[in-house]
Chain A
Amino acid sequence: MYTKVILVKDTDLKREDKTREFYTHLLDYLRGSNLHAQIQVVRVADIGVYDEGLVLKILPDKIVYCNVQDSDIKRIVDSTLDQGKVIGDLVFKPKAKQHRIVLRNCGKINPESIEEYIACGGYLGLKKVLGELGQQKLIEEIKISGIRGRGGAGYPTWMKWNFAREVESAEKFVICNADEGDPGAYMDRSVLEGDPHSVIEGLIIAAFAIGASKGYFYIRAEYPLAVERINKALKQAYDYGLLGQNILGSSFNLNLEIRLGAGAFVCGEETALISSIEGKRGTPHPRPPYPSVKGLWGKPTVINNVETLANIPAIVSNGGKWFAQIGTLTSKGTKVFAVTGKVKNSGLVEIAMGATLREIVMDICGGTLSGKPIKAVQTGGPSGGVIPEALLDTPVDYENLQKLGSIMGSGGMIVMDEDDCMVDIPKFYLGFCVEESCGKCAPCRIGGFQMLVYLNKISEGKGKLEDLEQMRRLAQAMQKASLCGLGQTASNPVVSTLRYFETEYNEHILNKHCPAAKCNSLVTYTIMGDKCKRCGLCVTNCPVQAISGDKEKGYLIAPEKCVKCGRCVDVCKFKAISKK
């Protein structure tokens, strides 16, 4: 019976594989120490660490040693395997897990200084495009890079550009979609505020690629600093001859303008965004025709997300091949996530595609703040889904997240622990979409609302099992029959929680119990007499005088008066109030 397993792999591809040799020596030594019956040694094909010489992974301890020599065998077996000590100098220390391309300048340069941007290699990409590349080669380079739209859907950027380029039209437009609206997401805002020129440069290059002479920044009005920074940066770019007539001495002309979004979430959808710029009500339109063929004012229009555009100068400067090396087979480059929720270090994280969710949440963000286990991670905002803890080892890319019932989305990532209820979470997201539905098409407008009615019923303990079936039917209708992405994906949070946490729904329905004690209608607050020290703090803090009693008799919460605000739990120093 083995108690430990050692995985072995030579990760240094530049030399002859030493695994076999090492394997033999290790086995010999184990046999000599009479440990060969308890410790299994396995040669594996991939261990997840690269270019670190011979690598061992010891399970179940998950200790990884790298650049291991034959001479290390003795101390590994003696101290680690026998005594459980970790050998400091051999332990694999992962390099910085973040890989910053989009955020390359954020926090490093003064965003209001074009000189600092240029000093960091800014506008060299544009110079290269105008000078040596030309339209055809530029698009070729973008194609090689494999970059896909960072707005969420992951459509290959080069294809978008190429469609628009191929359409004959005297007038074409480019638009930067900076109508970031997912709850908790602020990637685009940070780039616009922290490195506005990288986005402008990207947009100029996009305009050149398709032959547009006019472009717009569509920024939501709730981002005043971003608007101000882009405004300043545009002015600087004009002053430096990077915008306007004959850019950098070439025959290429481009004018960029800012348009403010008034706050409708659906205006991030490209056809609705176009309507909004045209001064119309921001409602989506059927596609095709796609904007790249018939967009703003009926002209070919390319709409790219902020993050996509911020990548472009780096791709042009370093070459498509460089970019294509980063990431997975289908998803190249990096992705910025705004990690929020019950996490220790919330913030922006830029990782190479293919990093696992666990790496992001645990290694980079340090796990949960409360120390409680993670329950699930939500990605993709209101259009995304909930991914349970068990699947956190999934490498992040467009396809993988979709398979899990979520989406990459624009990059919102919300971490949830045991205190989050899987009926309450979709209620929040669906509520958001119902609020933000433009109201044009029936499945989204009415279907979303009806689904929310069911969720509310369930969270109030009034649900029935057949409601789940109805919700699934509604979800199908919304997914298959809604006009735009908002309606098609609005049911994702519901569908994914039903997929992974159906038992929790059942618990609400059958036992009228909310395991996370989140759904107020199903929660009761009780003072536990044995723990209560009768300090009376809860009484003085209860805003509705629901707690009665005195120091002699002890205290009681009157459930009919209690509004379940949780104030008593917060103030009790003896954890004497239970919430179940």
Chain B
Amino acid sequence: MAKNISLKIDGKPCSCEASLTVLEACQKNGVNIPTLCYLKDINKEAACSICLVEIKGAKNLARSCVTSVKEGMEIATNTPRVRNARKLNMELLLAGHPKDCLCCDRNQSCELRKLAFDMGISQVRFPKIAKTELPLDATSASLVRDPNKCILCGRCVSVCSGTQSVKAIDFSGRGKSSKVTTFFDSGLANSVCVNCGQCLLVCPTGAITEKGATDEVWQELADPKKFVVVEVAPAVRAAIGEEFGMPVGTLATAKMAQSLRKLGFSKVFDTQFSADLTIMEEGYELIDRIKNKGVLPLITSCSPGWIKFAEHFFPEILKHISSCKSPQQMFGAIAKTYYAEKYNLDPRNIVVVSIMPCTAKKFEAKRPEMKSAFDYWRNKLNLKDSEAFYDVDYVLTTREASRLIKEAGIDFINLAGEDFDAPLGVSTGAAVIFGATGGVMEAALRTAYEVLTGKNLEKVDFMELRGLTGIKVAEVDIDGLKVKVAVASSLSNARVLLDEVKAGRSPYAFIEIMTCPGGCIGGAGQPIPTDTAVRQKRMEAIYREDKNKPLRKSHENQAVQALYKDFLIKPLGEKSHHLLHTHYAKRKEIK
């Protein structure tokens, strides 16, 4: 039981735990203090000087986000002195910030803009800081950084170094030349950045955005020669409704499928199809490694941020990572081979657009080795190297997809809803849960159990693998065979498990790693804000969808079974090897 202390907030006596900060104490007692750089559990930089309060007896105003409460403390949160100081600091921040809000990516979700309004800033009395326009960092395949819009709150730096333990960005320069940048200003693409985009999610302004591809997608959709198909990741359906004002946690699967069809996609498919396929391949890989005493633990490979992280920081353990491509990439490869053959389409005219809750997927799609379909067709169609095409052509985030829908004038909320197209739109509940941390593990176990034992798994819900906890462990009894498994979301949590693997003392047979906290539902392509409460609700939606699916085990997916029967022959077979599996290589820290 934490010790309670008594204090006064704005003259009103109240009490709180002694371990709280002034900000937390005020929040608990219903007093709102504006904050900007502060971000619960992530950033306590004390940089912005917005959350100032007056503490009786103190010489200076205190930053409530970092000041601890004390017995008998008298806090004033709304005095003229406090308001003036806060406003002045806000004006100073605004003086240096571009005023192109109307066409800013974050127009609707900018914390700085909202805060300025809430604080009643009606004019900025200071001249614009006459700094020259700083160049954008557009090197990355996933993210664009605009240092001009940066207010140096430090949230991106904290989330990158803390939550993700990547440390791709930090402050450089000093005084008014301070900026957030990469090592030697070499750009994100040339750094250890894993493209997870958590920096984007926490940025209060439009200083970090995804590298957009909506224009290109419009262009493809308008091209009559092209057969444009779309695949949608599981986590998107649990979040896209938020972009249209629907409550957090709304499942918008059918409306989403219908609106994509309305956009003009030739086929509306589902990444969940290839998620089921992933389970077949990865499940069999696990079974194979367990049976034949292969390298264990096996680690999942669906999350591209984590893959690049491993290539940078844990090159020693690359053999532990499943060679399976991620569902996005499996989909592209199958769409341009199996589907093309089946429906007699020229693979060169198929355009695969994927809608992802993720920014790292943009990078993944452009990895040079992700051209399996081209390799497949090269000899058959006598293709030249210059005709090479990627398995997945464009990756859009949930936010970008919603922008397409808005731009097309589609009344998303009032759509009746439609289904995905067959066959690549057919999926089971096991595929849905890929969207939340622990889901891939649970899906794999559902299949592994039945394949290994030949028995029917009665209880498909592995509750101990669910929830937003950073690291979850469980021991699964597969008909007498005890299998220890672990699940980590966020790379700092992953690091804990990986250090064990690296040291050769990992007790687990199977580890699932998701780059983003909470898994894909908390990915950087998702609607803003994405915080813990939002993640929780999206996760609940994901498990709801799973529960409502008639089939909940990947190997029961008839479309996947047909794919094996007609094309792939068997899991881990020759064709799978070429189309569905990949390899990893050590990366240098700096290019």
Contact = CB atoms under 8 A, between A and B. Distances in A.
Contacts of B84: 473, 476
Given A441-B48, A442-B48, A450-B95, A473 B60 contact: no
B112 to A, nearest CB: 12
B251 interface: no
Contact of A439 (B61, B67, B85, B178): B178
Contact of B93 (A283, A442, A488): A442
A209 B48 CA distance: 38
Nearest to B44: A286
A389 interface: no
A474 interface: yes
A288 B68 contact: yes
B175 A438 contact: yes
Nearest to A289: B68
A159 interface: no
A418 B122 CA distance: 44
Given A443-B49, A446-B93, A446-B95, A264 B174 contact: yes
A441 to B, nearest CB: 5
B446 to A, nearest CB: 45
Interface string A324-367: 00000000000000000000000000000000000000000000
Interface string B69-96: 0000000000001001100110011011
A507 interface: no
Given A441-B48, A446-B96, A453 B89 contact: no
A447 to B, nearest CB: 6
Interface string B91-107: 01101100000000000
Given A439-B178, A440-B152, A477-B85, A450 B49 contact: no
Interface string A462-488: 000000001001101101111100001
B149 to A, nearest CB: 15
B160 to A, nearest CB: 14
A266 B85 CA distance: 23
A265 to B, nearest CB: 9
Interface stretch (B125-133, B492-500, B569-577): B125-133
Contacts of B177: 439
Given A281-B170, A281-B171, A450-B95, A442 B127 contact: no
Interface string B152-167: 1010000000000000
A363 to B, nearest CB: 35
B46 A445 contact: no
Contacts of B173: 439
A52 interface: no
On chain A, which size bracket covers the interface? 35 or more
Nearest to A288: B68
A285 B63 CA distance: 12
B52 interface: yes
A22 interface: no
Contacts of B176: 434, 437, 439, 445-446, 449
A33 to B, nearest CB: 59
A450 B126 contact: yes
A473 B84 CA distance: 9
A436 interface: yes
A445 B129 CA distance: 11
Contacts of B127: 450, 453
B85 A440 contact: no
Interface of A is mostly: helix
Contacts of B60: 479-481, 488
Given A441-B48, A443-B49, A481-B85, A449 B66 contact: no
A435 interface: yes
B175 A440 contact: no
A473 B63 contact: no
Given A450-B126, A480-B61, A442 B92 contact: yes
B152 A445 contact: yes
Contacts of A449: 129, 175-176
B45 interface: yes
B217 to A, nearest CB: 39
A152 B171 CA distance: 28
B152 A481 contact: no
B14 interface: no
A477 to B, nearest CB: 4
B174 A470 contact: no
Given A286-B63, A435-B175, A441 B46 contact: yes
Contacts of A285: 46
A447 B174 contact: no
Contact of A445 (B45, B52, B61, B178): B178
Nearest to A287: B66
Nearest to A264: B174
B47 interface: yes
Contact of B171 (A435, A437, A439): A439
B387 to A, nearest CB: 49
A483 B171 contact: no
A51 B95 CA distance: 63
Given A286-B46, A441-B49, A453-B127, A473 B171 contact: no
5 contacts: A435-B175, A443-B88, A450-B95, A470-B126, A481-B85
Given A450-B92, A481-B49, A482-B49, 17 more contacts: A438-B175, A440-B154, A440-B178, A441-B49, A442-B49, A443-B92, A446-B95, A447-B88, A476-B85, A476-B88, A477-B88, A477-B89, A479-B60, A480-B85, A481-B85, A483-B46, A488-B60
Interface of A: 264, 266, 281, 283, 285-286, 288, 434-443, 445-450, 453, 470, 473-474, 476-477, 479-483, 488
